[in-house]
């Protein structure tokens, strides 16, 4: 099947692009001897786990179901971290996972004995209290009052020498879509606070948030950071990126259902930000759209003579509302078909007027999308399609009414 023949909405994941990302990650593993795991929370399209497993050392999970998926579908190293585990799930988790990371000394006291008895490796997530990201407090585990990770103060106050000695590893996760300069800053904080304990550990896990497969990512600095930890503390180094595995490796294909005009032209699509790409609203961000331009090039809000005729729309730009010159002449707000007034994907400009039935391609839609979809308003879930390296498309999962009904 060709891409043009697919019914919309659908996620199309490109095998070739996933492989390109995996080759970059594998090169880091080969050159440094570190271990890279897939963080399934970002990308759980398990039909690709055999391919991912050819390159990476395994997977990491956020809970029982991801742990089981990684165990069943990848079958390599299987790690897990959760802020708090359910007692009735622990035995099953220990069946699937070889590395169990706890968030607090209390969780270690509760479950540490079981982990030891099962012969599994045990780690503690620490909080180095070192924020390196601005603007997205919900993505910052080092923000004030964060529940994620044990601070040095709590570790000293709550853990006995024996409990600390029972640990095999230290885990930290503080980054989000960041470069290796921020990792270097974070590592410094981790070493300053937890360095003395690291000498006693077998492994350290740098968490996720490393945008390793982005063109401007400084991989040499990442390798230096890894080697520094290996040499200073004699530890195995793990990284568990999610986004980097499937970055720019998928699109969301959608169709224009209707166009309305309420002071500006609005294209209503058969996909929804709220249901199919919730990060667009949560983060928030405007996803790249193939072939489309920005709504306005000049962001001063200045009125530009003649621009209004050209674009036929008034554009909000920054704080000021005004008429600006868009990159392309026809400006539209693209929005979903749900009842949510804020189900808006963003404003874009086009070379030609949009019409019903036009197909659009949102870019970079493999990560944090399929794993987050929902059927609010009874919305249909997008099909999940794999585009092979020869360009043929295979529908891996297709959804219907039953998928909506069965959860209610």
Ligand X SMILES: Cc1ncc(COP(=O)(O)O)c(C=O)c1O
Among 208, 267, 322, 336, binds ligand X (CB under 6 A): 208
Among 13, 18, 39, 266, binds ligand X (CB under 6 A): 39
As measured in angstroms, the least distance from the Cβ of 282 to ligand X is 12
* Distance separating alpha carbons of residues 289 and 358, to the nearest angstrom: 13
Task: Report if residue 207 touches ligand X, rule: CB under 6 A.
Answer: yes
The three-state secondary structure class of 312 is: coil
Q: In the chain, helix, strand, coil percent, each to 5?
A: 35, 25, 40
Q: For ligand X, which is the closer residue by CB, 207 or 336? A: 207
Among 243, 294, 347, 383, binds ligand X (CB under 6 A): 243
Query: In this structure, what are the phi and psi dihedrals at residue 36, rounded to the nearest 5 degrees?
Result: -115, 130
Among 81, 217, 233, 330, binds ligand X (CB under 6 A): 81
* Distance separating alpha carbons of residues 366 and 361, to the nearest angstrom: 12
DSSP letter assigned to residue 407: T
Burial of 292 (0-12, 13-18, 19+ CB in 10 A): buried
* Distance separating alpha carbons of residues 220 and 183, to the nearest angstrom: 12
Q: For ligand X, which is the closer residue by CB, 246 or 292? A: 246
Among 10, 42, 189, 235, binds ligand X (CB under 6 A): 42
Q: For ligand X, which is the closer residue by CB, 50 or 83? A: 83
DSSP letter assigned to residue 150: B
Task: Report if residue 241 touches ligand X, rule: CB under 6 A.
Answer: yes
Binding region for ligand X (CB under 6 A) out of 205-213, 278-286, 331-339, 349-357: 205-213
Instruction: List the structure tokens of 210.
Output: 């490393």
The three-state secondary structure class of 264 is: coil
Q: Residue with structure tokens 């990371």?
A: 101
Q: For ligand X, which is the closer residue by CB, 57 or 240? A: 240
What is the number of the residue whose Cβ is closest to ligand X? 208
Task: Report if residue 172 touches ligand X, rule: CB under 6 A.
Answer: no
Task: Report if residue 278 touches ligand X, rule: CB under 6 A.
Answer: no
Task: Report if residue 242 touches ligand X, rule: CB under 6 A.
Answer: yes
Binding region for ligand X (CB under 6 A) out of 186-194, 242-250, 331-339, 352-360: 242-250
For the chain, the residue count is 408
Burial of 348 (0-12, 13-18, 19+ CB in 10 A): buried
Among 61, 69, 176, 204, binds ligand X (CB under 6 A): 176
Task: Report if residue 250 touches ligand X, rule: CB under 6 A.
Answer: no
* Distance separating alpha carbons of residues 335 and 360, to the nearest angstrom: 12
Task: Report if residue 225 touches ligand X, rule: CB under 6 A.
Answer: no
Residues that bind ligand X (CB under 6 A): 39, 41-42, 81, 173, 176, 207-209, 240-244
């Amino acid at each position: 099947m060709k891409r043009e023949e697919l019914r919309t909405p659908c996620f199309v994941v490109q095998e070739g692009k996933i492989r390109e990302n995996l080759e970059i990650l594998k090169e880091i593993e080969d050159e440094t001897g570190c271990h890279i795991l897939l963080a399934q929370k970002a990308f759980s399209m398990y039909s690709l786990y055999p391919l991912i497993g050819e390159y990476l050392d395994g997977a990491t999970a956020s809970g029982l179901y991801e742990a089981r998926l990684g165990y069943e579908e990848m079958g390599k190293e299987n790690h897990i971290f959760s802020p708090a585990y359910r007692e009735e799930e622990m035995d099953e988790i220990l069946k699937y996972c070889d590395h169990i990371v706890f968030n607090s000394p209390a969780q270690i006291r509760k479950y540490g004995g079981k982990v030891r008895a099962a012969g599994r490796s045990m780690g503690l997530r620490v909080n180095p209290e070192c924020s390196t990201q601005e603007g997205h407090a919900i993505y910052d585990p080092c923000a004030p009052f964060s529940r994620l990770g044990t601070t040095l103060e709590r570790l000293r106050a709550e853990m006995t020498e024996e409990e600390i000695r029972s640990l095999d590893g230290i885990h930290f996760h503080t980054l989000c879509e960041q470069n290796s300069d921020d990792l270097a800053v974070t590592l410094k904080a981790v070493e300053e606070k937890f360095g003395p304990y690291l000498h006693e550990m077998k492994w350290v896990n740098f968490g996720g948030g490393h945008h390793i497969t982005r063109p401007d990512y400084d991989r040499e600095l990442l390798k230096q950071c890894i080697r520094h930890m290996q040499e200073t503390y004699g530890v195995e180094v793990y990284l568990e990126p999610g986004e980097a595995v499937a970055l720019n490796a998928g699109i969301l294909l959608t169709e224009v259902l209707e166009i309305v005009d309420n002071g500006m032209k609005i294209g209503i699509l058969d996909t929804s930000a709220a249901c199919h790409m919730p990060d667009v609203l949560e983060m928030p961000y405007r996803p790249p759209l193939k072939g489309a331009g920005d709504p306005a090039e000049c962001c001063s809000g200045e009125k530009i003579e003649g621009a209004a005729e050209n674009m036929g729309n008034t554009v909000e730009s920054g704080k000021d509302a005004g008429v600006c010159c868009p990159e392309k002449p026809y400006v539209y707000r693209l929005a979903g078909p749900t009842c949510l007034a804020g189900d808006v994907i963003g404003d874009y400009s086009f070379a030609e007027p949009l019409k019903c039935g036009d197909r659009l391609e949102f870019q970079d839609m493999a990560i944090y999308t399929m794993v987050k979809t929902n059927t609010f308003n009874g919305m249909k879930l997008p099909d999940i399609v794999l585009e092979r390296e020869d360009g043929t498309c295979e529908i891996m999962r297709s959804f219907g009414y039953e998928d909506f009904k069965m959860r209610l």
